[in-house]
Structure 1
Amino acid sequence: MAIPISISRCLFFLLFIATIPSSSSLRIRPSTNSHDTPIASKPRKLAIKLIHRDSILSPYYNPNASPLELTRNAIEASVARARYYNKRIMARRSGAYVINEDAGAPLVPDFLGLAFLANITIGEPASEQLVMVDTASTLLWIQCTPCLTCQRQIPLLFEPLKSSTYSNIPCTPPGTAACTDVGGKCDPTNGCLFRLSYFDRTEVSGNLASEKLVFGTSDDGKVTITIKVFGCAHENRALTSDNQQSGILGLGYDNISLTEQLGGKFSICLGDIHDPNYPHNKLSTLLTLLIFGEGAVFEGDVTPIVSTQDGFYYVTLDGISVGEEKLNIDPNVFKLSSSGQGGTILDTGTTMMTMNRGGYDPLQNKVQSILNGSLQRTDFSIEGIPMLCYNGEVDRDLSSFPAVSLHLAGGADIVLDTHSMFRQVNGVALCMAVAPADNVEGMTIIGAFAQQSYNVGYDIAAGKVYVQRIDCELLES
C-alpha cells in the first residue's frame, strides 16, 4: 500500500474545501464479501457509545470546572458554530466555497464546540481510536502513521502498515475513477489523497482508504463492516496541540460519509448532558446512543427532512408554544430560503440552541413576561451577545415554568423542560439556554440541550426524522 513519505501532524476539527460529488452521484454501500458480517434483513443495532465532552469518561473532564465556566464554553462554542455555518453558506453563495481541487467539504469551527466523543475500533489487529462526533462534517478520519509531527492523542496512532485489512483507494487504471468519485485526487506515487482546508489556514491531509470498522451490538456481540472510504491523515498544520482525540467522525450527509455507507440511517438518543455521571456516558451495552443502519430506532412522531444542503439536516420549524400559548411568530422566519440562507437544522454537535431573531425575540419577550415579576434580571453576555439571565436556581425557582414546545412540520414536537430551556450558570444565576442568531437571516440550530431526553432517528433515504421523548435506557428494554 502506498503511504505518503512527507507527512506531519493532524488537526481535530474537520472540514474539506473542495469539490465532492453530490450524494446523487456515487452511492457507497457496506461490503458484503465473505469476510464481513453482512447487514442482514433482520435489523442489527450497529452501535457506537457516545461520551459527552464534559462527562467523567472524557479526557477533557475537569472536576474543578465551575457551572459558569461550562456555560460560558457552551455558549461561546455554540455562537461560534452558528456564525461559522452562516459564513459557510455565504461563502458557497459567493463562489468562494471551493478553493482547491483536492477532496473537500465545508469547514468546521473549533473542535471545543463539539459536544460528543466516541471510541471506535478499526483495523486488524483492532486499534481503538477516540474521535469527535460532528454532524456538520462528513468524512471519518483519524491520525495515521507515518506522521512525523502529529498532534498529541490518548490512543496510539493507527498503523495502517500493520493492519491486514487496510487498503488505499487505487489510482492506477482502471481504478482512477474510484478515487475521483469520492472526491480524492490521484497522485502517481502516494495514491488517492485528500486535503482538508480551514478558514484559519490549518490543513490536514493524507490517504483515502478502506478498512474494517467494528461495531458493538445490543446483545453484547460485535459485527465487523468494511468502510469503503475513510481518511488516513498523515499531515497537519494545527494551531493548537491541546488535543486528546484521534480525529473526526462526521455524521453529515454526503456520499462519502459513514452515514451513507451504512445505509443512510442512524439514530441518536441523548440523556441528561448536564450530569457528568449520567448512565448514557457509561460503557453499558444497554445504553447505546448512536446506532447506524437498519437497527436505528425509528419511533415516535415524524417530520420531513426538507434538505441535506451542505450535509446539514434541515427540518421545518412551524412555530413555538410556551405552555398553551402559541407565540405570534411568522413561520417563514424559520424556513430555508431559495437562496440557501436561514432554515432550521438538527445538530447534536452544537450544545446550545441558537435561533433566528424573528423567533428569538418573541420567545425572549414571553419568558420575560413570566419571570420579571418573580426573579431579578442580571447582566450576562458572551461574545458580545447579551443573554437573558436572572438571579435564581433552576430547580427551586422554575419548578412551575411552563414547557416550551418546538412545533415541527408533520405534527412532531420537541418539548423543552426547564433543564433544556435554562442553564444554571453559577450558584445564584440562571440563563435561558437559547442564544440569538447574529442577523435576521440567521440559521436556527436545535442543539444538544434541546434534544435531551429524546431519541432522534434519521431515515435520510426516506426523507424523514423520527422524534421520540424517552429515557435512553428504555430503548433496549
Structure 2
Amino acid sequence: MAPATRRAPLSRGPGSCLLAAALALAVLASPARLGASAAADGSSGAPDWHVVSVSSLLPSAVCTAVGARASNSSSLSVVHRHGPCSPLLARAGGAPSHAEILDRDQDRVDSIHRRSSAAVHTARASKGVSLPARTGVSLGTGNYIVSVGLGTPRRDFSVVFDTGSDLSWVQCRPCNGCYEQQDPLFDPAQSSTYAAVPCGDPQCRGLDSWTCASSGSRCRYEVVYGDQSQTDGNLVRDTLALGPSDALQGFVFGCGDDDSGLFGRADGLVGLGRNRVSLASQAAARYGAGFSYCLPSSPSAAGYLSLGGAAPSNAQFTAMVARGDTPSFYYLNLVGIKVAGRTVRVPEAVFRAPGTVIDSGTVITRLPETAYRALRGAFARFMRKYKRAPAMSILDTCYDFTGYTTVQIPSVALVFSGGATVSLDFNGVLYVPKVSQACLAFASNGDDTSIGILGNTQQKTFAVVYDVANQKIGFAAKACT
C-alpha cells in the first residue's frame, strides 16, 4: 500500500510526551514551514509533507502485483527486474546490493554523458571490423522488464525496456556465444512469419553499426553498450505480440547470436528511443506516435507500458525537446524545484544550459551541481530533527529513522517549462536501503555543464506520456492503480 500523504504530527513511539507532540504540531503548522503547492494532478492546496509509517519504508518480499494496465490492447505489465514479481529473480542468484545498483547506475550516467557530449570517437577492432567503441548506453541494474511474444506460433520473452536504446533484440538459435537467459532461445526455424532483413533495406542502413558481406546478403548488426556488454546478430522481421490479443506484423529486431555482458537473465531488450528502428517508431503507424508507462511505487508491485492510447485527463504536459547530437534521447526543460511548497533559489539558466534527458533506465535523478547543492540544503533544513546517516554510494544526504514509528518528509516538486509542476510520490523523494539509512534520491553531476537526467525513481507512480506526435511529455499522478 502506498504511504499516506497528509499533514499530521510526527510520533516517536509510545514514550512521546504530550508537550513534544504539541510543539511539533505548532512548528509543522507554521506558515513559514507549510505552503501550498500544486499536486501532479493539478489540484490546489496539496500537502507539502509526506507522513509515512517507518514500517512501510522497505518493500515487501512478496509480489503484490494485481496486473495494473492501461486501457488499450497494446498494454504490457511492467515489473522491476530485481523485485519479487520478476520472472528473472528466482534463478538469477538474488538481487544485487544497493551499492551495486547505485555504482552501476553511475556507469549508465557516465555513458549518457559521453554520448551527449559527442565524446565517443574512438574505434576498436571487433570481429575484423572497425566500429565505434560504444553505440549504446550502459544498461545499469535499475531496469524494468515486460513480457512480449515473438513469432508464429507465439513464444513469450522477458525483456528490458529502455527509452535510451533504439534497437530491440533477443537471443536466437543457432547461437555462437550466448549468455544464460531465463527462457529458451528464440528459434527462427519454428516461426512461419520470420524473415531476414536484406542489406539494402533502409532499416539496416539506419542502424548505428551494420555490416554486409554483399549487397544481397543478410544485414548484420552490432550494439556495444557503455559497460562493454555487446550483442551481435542478424537484423530480422517477425510478428511481435503486444498484450493478450494484439500483434504488430513485420516488426524489425535483432536476432542475437553472439552476445555477452551484464544482461542478467533477461531474454533481450525492447528499445523505445526516437530512432526509426525502435519499437515506438515502428508502432507509430498503427497505434499513434507515442507511448506511455507507469513505474510502480515498489518492486513488489506492477505498472504498465502502453503504445498509443489517450493520455490520462490529469496529465500535465511540457515540451519534448530534440537535440541533433543525440537524436535518440528524449529531452525536456526542467526549470525549477520546490521543497515543502517553497521554490528553491536556482537560476533557471542552471537547468537550461546543459538540458535534461528523461530516461527509464537511470535510477537516480542527476542535477547540475549548483541545483543539487541548493536542493540538498533546502531539504536538509527541513530534516534537522532526524539523525544523519552515512552516505550510500552516490547518495550523500541520508537519515537514520531508527526508533520512529512515523516520519514526516518535505515534499519535492519538479517544475518544467510551460508550468507543469510534478509533486513527487514519497518513493521519488527518498531511496531507502534500510531504515537506518534513508537517502535523498537525487545526486549531483559534479559540474554545471553535463546534462541532467530525470531518473526512474522520480518517475514512480506517474503515467509518463511520450506524445511524440505533438512533441510533448506528460505526467499524470497515481496512474499505476
Q: TM-score range by the shorter chain?
A: 0.7 to 0.9
Query: Residue 307 of structure 2 aligns to which amino acid in structure 1?
Result: F
Contact 1:304 1:464 survives alignment (8 Å):
yes
Contact 1:265 1:296 survives alignment (8 Å):
no
Query: Residue 369 of structure 1 aligns to which amino acid in structure 2?
Result: R
Aligned mates of 2:268, 2:94 — CA distance in 1: 28
Correspondence 1:78-117 to 2 at 5 A = 78-90=105-117, 92-93=118-119, 95-96=121-122, 106-109=135-138, 111-117=139-145
Aligned mates of 1:140, 1:125 — CA distance in 2: 20
Q: Which of residues 441, 448, 467 in structure 2 aligns to 1:440?
A: 448
Secondary structure, counterpart of 1:80 in structure 2: helix
Deviation at 1:142, TM superposition (A): 0.7
After TM superposition, the structure 1 stretch with the greater mean CA deviation from structure 2, 192-201 or 49-58, is: 192-201
Secondary structure, counterpart of 2:379 in structure 1: helix
1:246 aligns to 2:267 (yes or no): yes
Partner deviation per Cα, 1:407-462 (whole Å, 9 max, x = no partner): 01112122124332112222322111111113221222221211112101101131
Aligned mates of 1:468, 1:130 — CA distance in 2: 27
CA RMSD, aligned part only?
Answer: 3.1
Deviation at 1:138, TM superposition (A): 0.7
Q: Which of residues 212, 227, 230 in structure 2 aligns to 1:186?
A: 212
Q: Which of residues 323, 327, 337 in structure 2 aligns to 1:320?
A: 337
- Using a 3 Å threshold, how does the CA distance of structure 1 residues 397 and 363 change in structure 2: closer, same or farther? farther
Query: Residue 250 of structure 1 aligns to which amino acid in structure 2?
Result: G
Query: Residue 317 of structure 2 aligns to which amino acid in structure 1?
Result: V
Aligned mates of 1:201, 1:324 — CA distance in 2: 43
Contact 2:357 2:454 survives alignment (8 Å):
yes
Match of 1:162 in 2: 190
Match of 1:418 in 2: 426
Aligned mates of 2:453, 2:378 — CA distance in 1: 20
After TM superposition, the structure 1 stretch with the greater mean CA deviation from structure 2, 195-204 or 303-312, is: 195-204
Secondary structure, counterpart of 1:306 in structure 2: coil
1:470 aligns to 2:478 (yes or no): yes
Match of 1:5 in 2: none
Match of 2:348 in 1: 331
In the alignment, structure 2 segments of 5+ residues that lack a partner are 1-70
1:232 aligns to 2:255 (yes or no): yes
Deviation at 1:230, TM superposition (A): 0.8
Aligned mates of 2:357, 2:404 — CA distance in 1: 29
1:72 aligns to 2:108 (yes or no): no
Q: Please tell me whether Structure 1 or Structure 2 has the larger radius of gyration of its CA atoms.
A: 2
Contact 2:107 2:227 survives alignment (8 Å):
no
Contact 2:198 2:204 survives alignment (8 Å):
yes
Match of 2:167 in 1: 139
Partner deviation per Cα, 1:127-181 (whole Å, 9 max, x = no partner): 111111111111111111110321111111001122110111123xxx4556324
Q: How many residue pairs end up in the alignment?
A: 400
- Using a 3 Å threshold, how does the CA distance of structure 1 residues 355 and 74 change in structure 2: closer, same or farther? farther
Secondary structure, counterpart of 2:370 in structure 1: helix
Q: Which of residues 300, 315, 337 in structure 1 aligns to 2:315?
A: 300
Contact 1:45 1:296 survives alignment (8 Å):
no
Secondary structure, counterpart of 1:49 in structure 2: strand
Query: Residue 108 of structure 1 aligns to which amino acid in structure 2?
Result: V
1:270 aligns to 2:270 (yes or no): no
Aligned mates of 1:433, 1:162 — CA distance in 2: 46
Secondary structure, counterpart of 1:77 in structure 2: helix
1:289 aligns to 2:304 (yes or no): yes
Aligned mates of 1:395, 1:311 — CA distance in 2: 45
Contact 1:143 1:233 survives alignment (8 Å):
yes
Aligned mates of 2:134, 2:104 — CA distance in 1: 21
- Using a 3 Å threshold, how does the CA distance of structure 1 residues 365 and 45 change in structure 2: closer, same or farther? same
- Using a 3 Å threshold, how does the CA distance of structure 1 residues 104 and 300 change in structure 2: closer, same or farther? farther
Query: Residue 391 of structure 1 aligns to which amino acid in structure 2?
Result: D
Match of 1:285 in 2: none
Aligned mates of 2:403, 2:462 — CA distance in 1: 21
Match of 2:43 in 1: none
Match of 1:378 in 2: 389
Match of 2:277 in 1: 256
Aligned mates of 2:92, 2:249 — CA distance in 1: 42
Query: Residue 204 of structure 2 aligns to which amino acid in structure 1?
Result: C
- Using a 3 Å threshold, how does the CA distance of structure 1 residues 228 and 59 change in structure 2: closer, same or farther? closer
Query: Residue 322 of structure 1 aligns to which amino acid in structure 2?
Result: V
Partner deviation per Cα, 1:340-363 (whole Å, 9 max, x = no partner): xx3112212112222211210000
- Using a 3 Å threshold, how does the CA distance of structure 1 residues 165 and 87 change in structure 2: closer, same or farther? same
Partner deviation per Cα, 1:31-69 (whole Å, 9 max, x = no partner): xxxxxxxxxxxx9431221121222122454799999x7
Deviation at 1:201, TM superposition (A): 4.9
Secondary structure, counterpart of 1:46 in structure 2: coil
Query: Residue 238 of structure 2 aligns to which amino acid in structure 1?
Result: E
Secondary structure, counterpart of 1:170 in structure 2: coil
Secondary structure, counterpart of 1:113 in structure 2: coil
Deviation at 1:102, TM superposition (A): 6.7
1:358 aligns to 2:370 (yes or no): yes
Secondary structure, counterpart of 1:311 in structure 2: coil
Aligned mates of 2:224, 2:92 — CA distance in 1: 35
Contact 1:129 1:246 survives alignment (8 Å):
yes
TM-score by length of 1: 0.76
